[in-house]
Chain A
């Protein structure tokens, strides 16, 4: 049964399931899917209750989805399943300040024959602030698993669409018995992008988007004023009910913020400009280049969600020998810009701005690597953890029940084999909404191939991938290129029969971990596929992620070297 998110259907279904469960408790469960117990005890672990507050040898009791107790010498309930926490490290479950994982983009309405692009109806123009993201959320999206696997337990999901795509919501990444909704209509999402690639209709550029936002905001104020007058006086013309303007009302009374997705410092300043003119609560999400806008962030009191996406180091392998002085200087500037970006999170911390992380624009398999880079460039581990936990709880207004490990809070936690941001740390368990998810941990040392030799990628690899469309495969040909690698990958031609191939980009080998991307063009659009995983003795095992379609297993075997010649 595949149930789409219609809240009404869901709540009645939820009710039904709940009744059946309570009545039939103790009866047999023919599906075998119901868990044996919801009570857990994690014993003798190193528990970080909140950034900077760590307790050794502590036990955590989880019951009914909540943290029942944390401490030493606790009595373990008789129905508890015990997880031995010796040598494990427990942290509060991560909160994603804003994400589009699992969010589907609603279809644009079809234009009528007499469509006037200079004055389109709101829905055509990407102005749909009345939409709830929950109506366009796919709880079964496989990427949710990827993000839970790196530690996320709660996320604010942001709608897809145009300049005002709708209202966001907060969900947990818990068990499949629940609809996992924590709160709806938590922020009014906004962005400086318009629908239809821009110029087709009004507003087509940031010029029009800024002006349109101002007009909508002002008219929402006037509309709400009119409604108040109408409610308490007779003899007035009736207010025109307008769902776009009504969607602004909770923003006007500051009960929810505007969540502005911004892509650089100039867009951040534009969002701050709108905030200063209109006085709403502002959360900016996905910001980069914040080094150029620290003054604007500080003066605006905006809450800040930082993307942990980082650019690749374009100059890492560049050889400046023999280049002209001008090219050397240019290369150095690119390198400086890269270093500056690595240090930005640390500078935000130093400026006293309590920011959170957002997965917008980022990849789950790069998160730890990137946060480690930020830490190496000035961010403290405590601030990094806070950005994943308590800061986002505060920004989302859910600090009462999430963000730290305390009695009475939701049982959300991340359990790793080493201190969280250590290179060798691996996630062993994630507890989300009281549900325990266990992950495979392998005991390999980094930088070798199990037999003490560094991994050599070069050669021909056969791979297979499994997608809902079936199993397919091809070859990867990888060659050394100085200290890095280059390669091509073949795959079933999406627009016809036979094989197509693309160059492999961003090939990064770090220890046993290999990641790369390639572009497939299908149906007139170019799709970026990103692959990452681990190499063990010439076997590659990992996953491939196709932007919004989800991620799927990807395994490859290197052909013996004599066949490569």
Chain B
């Protein structure tokens, strides 16, 4: 019996390796750099040895044969930057047609040709959390991407060992799209809460219906009739079971606190709040009941609910014990998240490790991948960035970016045109003026035509 178990588990492990081993893994030795581990302080003149995509050793005078060696003298090595809120590399962002669309999966619409991935790599970002937009109270399931640029298979970008996450959204966006746009619930913040509650309650009933059916099947001679399948409710049932981490678009303290209470009522602990401009008002609650807050450094006032904001937000949250990260929500900001983190330090006097944690280990915690990435530690996946100066200096420029030990960006081997797929029918591809903007409301411009927006208004 034991033997069979061993054989079975061996097969399972083998199976995992087969599926994961499809993406490229690299080996490299970076010598004599200043290593910013984030979780274990700064190590001067230190070598980092990467074998087969994993950080094998950190120390002095390391040697390895048949492995490419990079001289890091005078340079700074930090963990790959992680963006907990992005819409890069997606063919569609919003299935804005229903207040709950938990059944849709961003993993279905990943576009590996998006040049935004390469630009993010050039900014040292190795992982982005490709999210559904904020048009719905409960949006779609997000996908955590590793920036393995160069493939035409979208699945090669999926970080397959990352847990599932889902988008929620509060406040003006869902009420505007559904309430004012289509005349259905939710029209107010109360409505948003009701939509979420109803969703959870229906999911409880749905789960029970299937459990009853499966129990009935176990009875001898029973012929139970299967319930209807509903991936929308099945997904919400997984949220209730803690299998999916909620990432919730939010701004105001009242709605944040209200959703914290709703989650407590339903026993949900896996929730991260995104944007959270008024998070500083509910910092202790965020610290106690959530997986943290992912904020902007100093971006606000692009609509009514985002006026009450401060550049001290990240620092206040962090000092109150909230797991805090800084995200981009933008194909432009993603290129210099280290500057954005630097702003939080400039205002809030966070120390270097705290500041770097905002864009490395903390977003990793919020995505449930902190045991694999987010810091330079032996045994972790080798997602690394080499800077020519300290990354919190405004003069620092990323030199090389590695994902799984494979170098995907090198400033010295950086051709003008890095597109993977070129249109044969456009002599010059069009340039979109709005591409640099926040993309949370991508695809739902339609609903905003009467609200005085113009070309350069933010839409997240």
Contact = CB atoms under 8 A, between A and B. Distances in A.
Contacts of B426: 314, 334
A273 B91 CA distance: 16
Given A206-B108, A215-B230, A333 B419 contact: yes
Contact of A265 (B152, B227, B444): B152
B140 interface: yes
Given A205-B92, A208-B104, A337-B422, A226 B226 contact: yes
A326 interface: yes
Chain B interface category by residue count? 35 or more
Contacts, number: 135
B446 interface: yes
B210 to A, nearest CB: 11
Nearest to A119: B98
B184 A207 contact: no
B425 interface: yes
B416 interface: yes
Given A214-B231, A269-B154, A296-B153, A233 B95 contact: no
A273 B105 CA distance: 12
A329 B95 CA distance: 38
A233 B230 CA distance: 26
Main secondary structure of the interface of A (DSSP, over half): helix
Interface stretch (A86-94, A287-295, A369-377): A287-295
Contacts of B15: none
Interface in A202-246: 202-208, 210-211, 214-215, 218-219, 222, 225-226, 229-230, 233, 236-237, 239
A315 B427 contact: yes
Given A229-B225, A338-B424, A202 B153 contact: no
Contact of B97 (A202, A237, A289, A338): A202
A208 B101 CA distance: 8
Contacts of B152: 265, 292-293
B421 interface: yes
Nearest to A292: B152
Chain A interface category by residue count? 35 or more
A42 to B, nearest CB: 41
Contacts of B446: 199
A93 B97 CA distance: 46
B201 interface: no
Contacts of A333: 417, 419, 422
A157 B416 CA distance: 46
Contacts of B422: 333-334, 336-337
A201 B423 contact: no
A331 B429 CA distance: 11
A196 to B, nearest CB: 10
Given A117-B182, A296-B153, A204 B95 contact: yes
Contacts of B427: 314-315, 318, 331, 334
A311 B425 contact: yes
Given A206-B108, A211-B105, A215-B230, A337 B98 contact: no
Given A207-B108, A229-B223, A118 B424 contact: no
Contact of A118 (B99, B154, B417, B421): B99
A292 B178 CA distance: 38
Most chain A CB within 10 A, of B230, B423, B424, B446, is at B424
A266 interface: yes
Contacts of A237: 225
A207 B105 contact: yes
A37 to B, nearest CB: 49
B443 A219 contact: no
A199 B443 contact: yes
Contacts of B154: 266, 269
Interface string A161-203: 0000000000000000000000000000000000000011111
B319 interface: no
A118 B178 contact: yes
Interface in B435-455: 443-444, 446
Nearest to B90: A207
B428 A330 contact: yes
Given A199-B446, A329-B416, A330-B417, A207 B424 contact: no
A379 B226 CA distance: 51
Given A118-B184, A210-B108, A336-B422, A204 B228 contact: no
Contacts of A265: 152
A182 B4 CA distance: 55
Contacts of A105: none
A260 to B, nearest CB: 14
A225 B232 CA distance: 22
B164 to A, nearest CB: 14
A122 interface: no
Contact of B223 (A214, A233, A269): A233
Contacts of A270: 108-109
Contact of B95 (A202, A225, A295, A334): A202
A312 interface: yes
12 contacts: A117-B182, A199-B444, A218-B229, A226-B226, A236-B223, A239-B225, A266-B111, A270-B109, A292-B152, A314-B426, A330-B417, A333-B422
Interface of B: 91-92, 94-99, 101, 103-106, 108-109, 111, 132, 140, 152-154, 178, 182, 184, 223, 225-232, 416-417, 419, 421-428, 443-444, 446
Given A200-B97, A214-B231, A333-B419, 19 more contacts: A118-B99, A118-B178, A118-B184, A202-B97, A204-B95, A206-B108, A207-B109, A211-B95, A211-B105, A214-B103, A219-B229, A222-B229, A225-B226, A226-B226, A230-B225, A270-B109, A295-B153, A334-B423, A338-B424
What are the nearest 10 A-B pairs in CB distance? Answer: A118-B98, A202-B97, A337-B424, A207-B104, A311-B425, A211-B103, A205-B92, A338-B424, A292-B152, A204-B97
